[in-house]
Amino acid sequence: MRIFLDTANLEEIRTAVRWGVCAGVTTNPTLYAKESASGVSYRERVVAIAELVGGHVSAECVSRTADDLVEEARAIASWHPNVVVKIPADEAGIEAIHRVSAEGIRVNTTLIFSVNQALLVANAGAAFVSPFVGRLDDIDHDGTDLVRETVELLDRYHMPTQVIAASIRGPRHVTAAAAAGAHIATVPFKVLRQMLQHPLTDRGIAAFLADWERAQTAVGR
Ligand code: G3P
C-alpha cells in the first residue's frame, strides 16, 4: 500500500519526501483553509506541492453543477501534469466524473461512504475512490469494512479504479486499510509521525548509546 500525505502544508510534505514515504498528496478546501493565512492561492499551493512530490496531487472542485464541475475540473487538471481532480460522489459529481474521465482527466472521487457510491463512480470512469474511514467510524459504522468491501468488489469485477483510504485518524486506521487491501492510504502528517514512533525504539536507542559511551570509557577513548 502506498502512502499519500493528506495536507496542504509544504513543510510537512518536505519532511515526508525526505523520509521517502510520500507517494502523493491529497488536499481539500478544509486543508487549504488552514494554509490560506499565507495569502497563497489554491492553484499556487497545489502547483508548489506538485513540484515537491513525484506523484499524484489531488485538488478539489467546489462547483455545484455538472457543467461547472466539468469546467473547473478541466482548469484544475491543466495546473500540473500530476494533478488529479477531486469531485464528490453526488449526482452532479458523477455526471462530471463521466464527462471529464472520457477526456482523460483522472478523477479521485471524494466523500465516498458506501460501496454503491464507489461502484457507480467506478463505472462512470473514476480513476480513484476515497472512502472516508474516520467519518464513518465517527457515526458508529465501520469505515474499514467499507474499504475492504470496496476493494473486494472492484477486484472481483476487474475494475481498474484504485481505492484511497481517506479520513485516516490514527495509526490503527493505516494498518487496517493495508489489511483491507487499500491501494493507497492518505494520512495526516501527525499520523505519519505516530506510525514511526515506538517507546521501545526510543528506549533501545538510549540504552545502546549509554552502553557505547561506557565501552568507550572502558577502552580509554
Ligand atoms: O482526505 C479526506 C480527509 O482529509 C478527511 O479527513 O479527518 O476531515 O475526516 P477528516
- Locate 151 and state its grid cell: 476493494
- Locate 97 and state its grid cell: 466524473
**pLDDT tens for each residue of 136-191:** 999 999 999 999 999 999 999 999 999 999 999 999 999 999 999 999 999 999 99
* Ligand 1 contacts CB of residue 117 (under 6 A): no
Q: What is the pTM of this model?
A: 0.96
By CB atoms closer than 10 A (0-12, 13-18, 19+), residue 21 is middle
Confidence of residue 37 (pLDDT cuts 50, 70, 90): confident
Counting residues of the chain whose pLDDT is more than 90, the rounded percentage is: 97
**pLDDT tens for each residue of 93-137:** 999 999 999 999 999 999 999 999 999 999 999 999 999 999 999
Question: What are the start-end ranges of the H helices in the chain?
Answer: 10-19, 29-35, 42-52, 66-77, 91-102, 115-124, 133-138, 143-156, 171-179, 189-196, 199-218
Residue 165 has a pLDDT of: 98
Q: Which CA distances in Å does 162 have to 1, 22, 118, 126, 147?
A: 11, 17, 10, 9, 11
Atom index in ligand 1 nearest the CA of residue 28 equals 4
Residue 78 has a pLDDT of: 98
Confidence of residue 199 (pLDDT cuts 50, 70, 90): very high
Q: Take atom 1 of ligand 1 and give the residue whose Cα is closest.
A: 166
Q: How many angstroms does the Cα of residue 214 sit away from the middle of ligand 1?
A: 48
Residues 98 and 72: their CA atoms lie apart, in Å, by 14
Catalytic residues: 86
